[in-house]
Every structure is written in C-alpha cells, then in structure tokens.
Amino acid sequence: MASKKPNTKDSFQPTDKVKWSGIYDVVHGKGCKHGEHQVTCVTNEEFPPCATTCGSGVRFRLYEAAKHLGEYKRFKKKA
C-alpha cells in the first residue's frame, strides 16, 4: 500500500496504477454517453480507458479509500 495519505482531489488517468483500493468517481470526456458514475478499483491494477467514446479521456478521482478483502491476511481464500 502506498505510504502517502490519499488525496481525494488527485485525478488519475488510464494506465496510471491504482495506489489505494476503494471507490472512485469516474468522469468521462466531453461527448461521452457515460457521464459520471462510481466504480471500485483495487491497488496495483491499472485504471482502464473508456471502452467507447472517450478512450483515454476518462479520469478517476478517489471518493473513499477502502482495503480490498484480499489485502487482509486474516481472511483466507477457499482452495
């Protein structure tokens, strides 16, 4: 996990690595039919491009950080 405290004003773009698991606001580029919505993202994955109109014009902004269940050692995955 990144050591710097999350800043909800930071904006991330496709190919940036997710620094903090949590809920992100998604803002699509001008003219994209998807508008604004929220998604969950997991640490160390890449933010993806929009699959339709705006491609790499989409931006992600952390709404609320939350650890992914897989980041807790006290929970085991089923074999």
- The domain spans of the chain are 11-68
pLDDT tens profile 8-46? 788 999 999 999 999 999 999 888 888 899 999 999 999
What global pTM score does this model have?
Answer: 0.81
Assign 57 to helix, strand or coil. Answer: helix
Q: Supply the pLDDT for residue 2.
A: 47
The candidate with the shortest Cα–Cα distance to 10, out of 75, 70, 66, 63, is 63
Per-residue pLDDT tens for 39-49?
999 999 999 99
Q: How confident is residue 79, by pLDDT bands cut at 50, 70 and 90?
A: low
Q: Is pLDDT above 70 for 66?
A: yes
Please count the other Cβ atoms lying within 10 Å of the Cβ belonging to residue 7: 11
Q: Which pLDDT does position 5 carry in this prediction?
A: 66
Mapped onto helix, strand or coil, the DSSP state of residue 56 is helix
